[in-house]
Amino acid sequence: MTTLLTGLIGSGIGFSLSPVMHEREAAVLSHELRYDLWDLHALGASPGDIGDLLLRARDAGYRGLNITHPCKQLVLAHLDTLSPDAAAIGAVNTVVIGEDGLAGHNTDWTGFRRGLVDGLAGAPLDRVVLVGAGGAGAAAAYALLDLGTERLDVVDADPDRAARLAADLDPYRVRGGRLTELPTLLGHAHGVVHATPVGMADHPGQAVPGNCLRPDLWVAEIVFRPLHTALLAAAAEAGAVFLDGGRMNAHQAADAFRLFTGLEPDPSRMYAHLRELVAPEVSRAPLSGALSPNPIERM
């Protein structure tokens, strides 16, 4: 059986869970798949080299690559086709390599959407506050609008970025604002989505004040390492229902896996894999195989 070659391009990805998640799911489905890490620093490459790296992957026989920070926008200029959602969001996190060239997709938004529907079924979505207007925030915003959110307030440390996202997506339903407005906006919201790095292991803290949370305000987290962030602990203390970032991550991985392989993955199983991998994290050792300076050398 021919091994399907896939991977991830980004910076600082040595601790990514994607190789284990994709390779485990492929094994369960009796499929040979290898998922490599193309870390820009390890390769001696810069974000501007994303086009050359894609061509190297194509020439080496790769079926597809996930794309993460800082290349989700830079990759757009090097693709032959874009899915409508990726074009609307302005970011790509999955590139499928085929006979027709390089096709860009965004599974961040579908991952967030599916995770929200799975984990917070029936939650009111009419009025939501989004904290963070970066790539993850844009994907979450697109998903919320697709689910029928009537009013989405986006706040960001850079108010201009929040305003641009609002204008690009839907100036009638989306409004850009400042972080200082957060307490007031949350007072009128049904839910809040956190989409900044705050709360990650390397960025400790809490972007949404605990005293703004309440039992009838649901909380959705993008961060999944750690799986239970300070924000989710505060949500639990306030009696609010909440969604961890692992569901989005598992669903986006499942959607990318489907694009790469044509097989039907089990997102629930991939979420269970992720929880198993994250739970015992007490060291900083990579959870996947050793990071090669050049993934092509592993062929």
Q: What is the pLDDT of residues 154-163, one digit of tens each?
A: 999 999 999 9
Question: Where in the chain are all domains bearing CATH 3.40.50.10860?
Answer: 4-105+248-281
Question: Burial of 30 by CB count in 10 Å (0-12 exposed, 13-18 middle, 19+ buried)?
Answer: exposed
May I ask the CATH architecture of the domain 4-105+248-281? 3-Layer(aba) Sandwich (3.40)
pLDDT exceeds 70 at position 182: yes
Cα 20 to Cα 8: distance, rounded to the nearest angstrom: 12
Among the listed residues 150, 295, 291, 136, the one whose alpha carbon sits nearest the alpha carbon of residue 222: 136
Task: Please identify which of the residues 72, 225, 247, 251 carries the catalytic annotation.
Answer: 72
Provide mean pLDDT across the span 244-263: 97
Cα 44 to Cα 54: distance, rounded to the nearest angstrom: 15
The separation between CA 100 and the C-alpha centre of its own chain, rounded to angstroms, equals: 26
Class of the 109-243 domain?
Answer: alpha beta
- Contacts of residue 290, defined as CB under 8 A and 6 or more positions apart, other chains included, come to none
18-28 vs 246-261: helix crossing angle, rounded to 10: 60
Active site residue 72: yes
Cα 252 to Cα 272: distance, rounded to the nearest angstrom: 14
> Are 99 and 121 a contacting pair, CB within 8 Å?
no
Question: Where in the chain are all domains bearing CATH 3.40.50.720?
Answer: 109-243
pLDDT tens, residue by residue, 43-70: 999 999 999 999 999 999 999 999 998 9
Say what the pLDDT of residue 5 is.
98
Which structure tokens are listed for 172? 């009638």
pLDDT tens, residue by residue, 23-43: 999 999 999 999 999 999 999
Say what the pLDDT of residue 201 is.
80
Q: What percent of the chain has pLDDT over 90?
A: 87
pLDDT exceeds 70 at position 89: yes
pLDDT band for 1, please (50, 70, 90 cuts).
low
Question: Burial of 284 by CB count in 10 Å (0-12 exposed, 13-18 middle, 19+ buried)?
Answer: exposed
Question: Token pair 């998903």 is at which residue?
Answer: 143
The long-range contacts involving 50-58, CB below 8 angstroms and separated by at least 24 positions, are 50/9, 50/74, 50/75, 50/78, 51/75, 51/77, 51/78, 53/9, 54/9, 54/78, 54/95, 54/97, 54/102, 56/296, 57/5, 57/7, 57/97, 58/97, 58/102
